Structures are given as C-alpha cells and as structure tokens.
Structure 1
C-alpha cells in the first residue's frame, strides 16, 4: 500500500531549508526510497512550509528514515525551524490520477460512445491531433469526429489500456486495439476478419482536465498486412 508522509514546519530560513534538502538529495543518491516529493509554501504565511513525500509502502519509508544521511539532515532541519516539525503518516486508501482517467475515458468514447458530441467532455475545442499516418494533422472537433467516423465505418473495435504513465500535464498510454473488419476502410471492402494492433499515445492536458493535444504511434502497416492489403 502506498505510504505518504506530510512534514509540516515553520521557518524564517526557507532558502537555507531548500539548500539542506538539496544536500540530502545529493548525499542519498541511489539510496533514497521515496518516489515523489512536493514542497509547498503557505500563501498566507511564507514561513509555513509543508513537504509531502510518497513511498511505495510504510516499510520502504522506514528504510529511508534509517539512512544515516536522513538522520543527520533531520537534525539540521530541526535547527532551522522556528518550532519542532510535525509528521503525519498516511496509508493511501484512494489515489485518483484524473488526467490518466480522462485519457482512458477518451479511448472508451472513441470506440463505444455512439454520440460523438460527447467527445467535447474530454477534448478541448481546437484539439490538435498528430498522427503520422495522416498527411495533415487533425485539428478541431469536426475533424476529430470525421476521423473517428472513418475508423468506425471500417471496424467494430475496442481499446484495451495496457499501461499508463503520467508526468506533469502529459499522460502516455500504451494500448491494444482489437477490431472486426465490418466496412470499407481505406478502399478495402469488409472481410469480417478479426484484427489487432498495438500503439501508444501521449496526451497533453490543460488545467481543467481536457485534452488539448495528442501524439499517436501505432502499427498501421501490420494492420493492413492482416487485412491482406500488403504482403507480410
């Protein structure tokens, strides 16, 4: 179970505290077990500092706290603080990565949502789609709907999300696409064949969670080979 520790302190020596944290990162390189760290400053009180540190589990966090470098840095941190820091230990019982969820939701809508107007719920107006299989980028909701209609006209299909990685305002999704060739697709008459392909897409999000840009990579040549359009 993911474990989070919240460190709450007050100090008038914020710059010195930042330098101390830099020293800790440098001196524990290759030993630290934390996976994510966020430091925030209270907008209403510049001396109020909160650090949120994430670990894979409580046991892993304890190994981190037992490092001699961690113990030394903690004592120096206390000396910089106006009062004794407080620690809150939390086992994470719910963790919603909203950008990742919206990326998955888009994949579901592309395949299953009959009313394409609902794409507006996850895509920003002016959405810009980069697809190396298209001669021109797809820009704007009307163009997106035409692209989706082309794929739906050729296949009954669904996506399986195999993996996702989120960093800042971007989410990378690795996916598997499976479909049945039920209609005309790029001039190929329906074969009734079950086909599949794999790919990835990186989506860029704006602050409200809507997707503003996407970069796709997938094995269209392999798909066409399965349909008999090119030699395998």
Structure 2
C-alpha cells in the first residue's frame, strides 16, 4: 500500500529549507526509498511550508528514515524552523489519477470497441492529433476519426496498455497491439495476415478530456509482417 508523509514546517528561511531538500536528494542518491517529493508553501502564511513525500509502503518509508543522511538533514531542518516540524503519516486508500482514467477509457471505448464516435465525449472540441502515419501531422478530431476509421476497418487492431505514466496534464502510454489485415488500405489489398507490434503515445489532457495526442507506431514492422516490404 502506498504511503505518504506530510511534514509541516514553520520557517522564515524557506530558501534554506529548499536547499536542505536538494542536499537530501543528492546525499541519498541510490539509497532512498522515496519515489516522489513535493514542497508547498501556504498562500495565506508564507512561513508555513509542507513537504509531501511518497513511498511504495510504510515499511519502505521506515527504511528511508533510518538512513544516516536522512537523520542529518532532519536535524538541520529542525535548526532552520521556528518550531519542531510535525509529521502526518497516511496510508493511501484511494488514488485516482483522473487523466490516466480518461486515456484508459479512450483505448477501451474508442479503439478496442471500434466506436470512434465515443471520442466526441472523451476529447475536447479543439482536439489535435499528431501521427506521422496519417495524412497530416496536425489533424482535428473529425479528420482524425475519419482516417483512423479506415485503419480500424482494414486492420482490426486491438491495443493492450502495458503502462501509463501521468505528470501534470500529460499522460505517456506504452502499449502493444495486434490485428489482422482484412481490408484494403491505401491500395494494399487484404492479406489475411496477423501482425503485432509496439507503440508509444503521449496525451495532453484539459478539463477531464483529451486535448492533444502524439502517436508513434512501428509501421515498418507491420508492413514487413504483411509482406508489403522486404526485410
């Protein structure tokens, strides 16, 4: 279970506290078990600073606290604070990364369910698609739906999402795909052959919808499997 620790500090010397965080990151390189660190400053009280540190589990957090580097930095932290920092320990019982959810729905409802109209509810009205395999590297939603419908009709692809990573308004996806060439596409007559490959995509989300997407497929690998090009 993911574990999060909130460290509340009161200090007039926020810059020194920030430097201590940098020192800790450098000193614990290759040793720390923390996976994510964030520092926030209270808008209504500039001396109130909260550090949020994420760990894979409580046990991993305890390993981190036992590092001599962690103890040294904490003692220096206490010295720059007006009062002893307080700790809030939280077991994460729910973690919804909402941008990842909308991207997952896009794969299942639009591509795997072969329902391109579902993209209307999952993408913004000014959605832009960037894919070197399409007619332009900058397509609007209507044109992207049209061109992708031809691909889906010809190749019947199914995508498996292997991993999703979210940061800010971006979601990066690593995926595998498979399909069968059953329809004509850009003059390439159906071969009936199965194919498989790997791909990456990055999505920019806005207001709970997908506003932009960049796609990269192993097009050459697919053409080789279909016998359209020689190895």
- Secondary structure at the counterpart of residue 223 of structure 1: helix
Given the superposition, is the C-alpha separation of residues 15 and 188 from structure 1 closer, same or farther in structure 2, using an over 3 Å criterion? same
Question: 2:218 & 2:23 partners in 1: Cα distance?
Answer: 46
- Return 5+ residue gaps in structure 1 as ranges: none
Equivalent in the alignment of 2:80:
80
Equivalent in the alignment of 2:198:
198
Structure 1 contact 132–217 (Cα < 8 Å) conserved: yes
Equivalent in the alignment of 2:224:
225
The TM-score normalised by the length of structure 2 is 0.88
Structure 2 contact 110–117 (Cα < 8 Å) conserved: no
Structure 2 contact 134–147 (Cα < 8 Å) conserved: no
Given the superposition, is the C-alpha separation of residues 22 and 224 from structure 1 closer, same or farther in structure 2, using an over 3 Å criterion? closer
- Deviation for aligned residue 1:115: 4.8
Equivalent in the alignment of 1:184:
184
Equivalent in the alignment of 1:123:
123
Higher mean C-alpha displacement, 99-108 vs 37-46: 99-108
Equivalent residues in 2 for 1:103-142, closer than 5 Å: 103-113=103-113, 115-142=115-142
The TM-score normalised by the length of structure 1 is 0.88
- Secondary structure at the counterpart of residue 37 of structure 1: strand
- Deviation for aligned residue 1:53: 0.1
Question: 1:62 & 1:79 partners in 2: Cα distance?
Answer: 22
Given the superposition, is the C-alpha separation of residues 133 and 115 from structure 1 closer, same or farther in structure 2, using an over 3 Å criterion? closer
Structure 1 contact 108–158 (Cα < 8 Å) conserved: no
- Secondary structure at the counterpart of residue 133 of structure 1: coil
- Deviation for aligned residue 1:142: 0.9
Equivalent in the alignment of 1:43:
43
- Deviation for aligned residue 1:135: 4.4
Equivalent residues in 2 for 1:53-64, closer than 5 Å: 53-64=53-64
- Secondary structure at the counterpart of residue 46 of structure 2: coil
Question: 2:180 & 2:202 partners in 1: Cα distance?
Answer: 25
Question: 1:27 & 1:156 partners in 2: Cα distance?
Answer: 52
Structure 2 contact 201–213 (Cα < 8 Å) conserved: yes
Count of matched residue positions in the alignment of Structure 1 and Structure 2: 231
- Secondary structure at the counterpart of residue 156 of structure 2: strand
RMSD value, Cα: 2.1
Structure 1 contact 2–55 (Cα < 8 Å) conserved: yes
- Secondary structure at the counterpart of residue 157 of structure 2: strand
- Return 5+ residue gaps in structure 2 as ranges: none
Equivalent in the alignment of 1:16:
16
